[in-house]
Amino acid sequence: MGLVALGVSGGIGAYKAVEVARGLQKRGHEVVAVMTKAAQEFVGPLTFEAITRRPVILDQFSYGQNSSIEHIRLASSIDALLVAPATANQIGKFAHGIADDFLSTLYLATKAPVVIAPAMNTNMLEHASVKRNLDLLSFNGVRVIDSEAGELACGWHGDGRLAEPSVIVETVHSVLQPQGSLLGKCILITAGPTYEDFDPVRFIGNRSSGRMGFALATEAAKRGARVILVTGPTSLPVPERVEVTKIRSAAEMHVAVMAHVEECDAVIMAAAVADYTPMAGRADQKLVKGDEVVTIELKLAPDILAELGKWRDGRKLPVLVGFSAECSDSNQRAKKKLEAKKLDLIVANNVSRPDAGFDVETNVATLISQSDEDVRPLQSKSDLAQDIFDRVETILTRLGKPLEAHL
């Protein structure tokens, strides 16, 4: 089916890469192993040669007669690059464009999809530098397979263990064999709250958990779309096959959304973006308790959805979907937003209900377009996500963007 370059870097999880190679072969893929110098301290190259029936690439300048350009040749012939395990060192190289061995050079040279499976000590995984590097790779389109919690080789118990080989194999297989009605489409989704800091400790925020946006991202990925998820602070796990950009403020979300909008077929703004932000921005020092009454001047935050409507003026795409979270007259307010912001669809929901809205698994909503209103019953956010994407697919078809047949 496809040729997978299996990059093996120097961690104890390297022994599991042997099982990954075998699993990919069982799925019908060919595998060529690329081992770093450190990886060879854990598993011998002969093991991979025996399984893959191909020479193992060990060094930038020791493979073949034209070794100096071998990374270019391989980069153009592979269908996917998988790195398992991906150590903190290798992740850092990828994130910052360091090309000092064959694997890191191959990463920069290939246009094929890239999947990495991090594995390291818990403290290393949680270090701010590693987190930033993983976020940067996700932003650049690298698929990151979450590590698992359990007993680590160092004797600790926590997150950082390499994902199970079967999970890694199925992830790569899904990348190589995408299916679904939205195959070939790009969907941008926002989720979660935004936090507007007014000093180093305090912020203005809201109770959004991000569940609705994450449910939408999961559904879009199931339908085969390329999914870009721009999310405010949440504690939710990242959905499979989703590119994630993490932001904090409305201004940061605005930048992230506008950076991707031209490549998208649809934008769904499910995030609870702040309406206001502190006029003076974030103070350098904590606001000291003193006066009984404190006044913080606020200004309007960027209205991302309204700007998208203006930006799209005269264009068919992207399809624009908004959310209207209200405590009363939700449908009437939503209709006004639909018109004012030039949307194709708006989802109106009454967040005053205890079983709908923020931080619960269910929602009650009305899907409102220019031509009709579709009142949905109390249902899970996953089911509502399906309903929303059924409508989005109908709009795309009407606009002349044919969908793939369901596989």
Place of tokens 């009363």: 328
b/e per residue, 250-262, with b = 16+ CB within 10 A? Answer: bbbbbebbeebbe
* Torsions phi, psi for 83 (to 5 deg): -120, 115
Q: Any residues with CB less than 8 A from the CB of 121 and at least 6 apart, and which?
A: 152, 154, 156, 160
Candidates 390, 387, 348; CA nearest to 366 is: 348
Indicate the residue type of 32: V
Q: Any residues with CB less than 8 A from the CB of 282 and at least 6 apart, and which?
A: 197, 198, 199, 200
Task: Name the DSSP class of 193.
Answer: B
Place of tokens 């992230």: 256
Query: Residue 195, Cα to own-chain centre: how many angstroms?
Result: 20
Task: Name the DSSP class of 272.
Answer: B
CA distance 309 to 344: 10
User: Which listed residue (154, 186, 264, 327) is catalytic?
Assistant: 154
CA distance 351 to 273: 15
Radius of gyration (C-alpha) of the chain in whole angstroms: 24
Our answer to whether residue 264 is catalytic in this structure is: no
Query: Which are the catalytic amino acids?
Result: 154
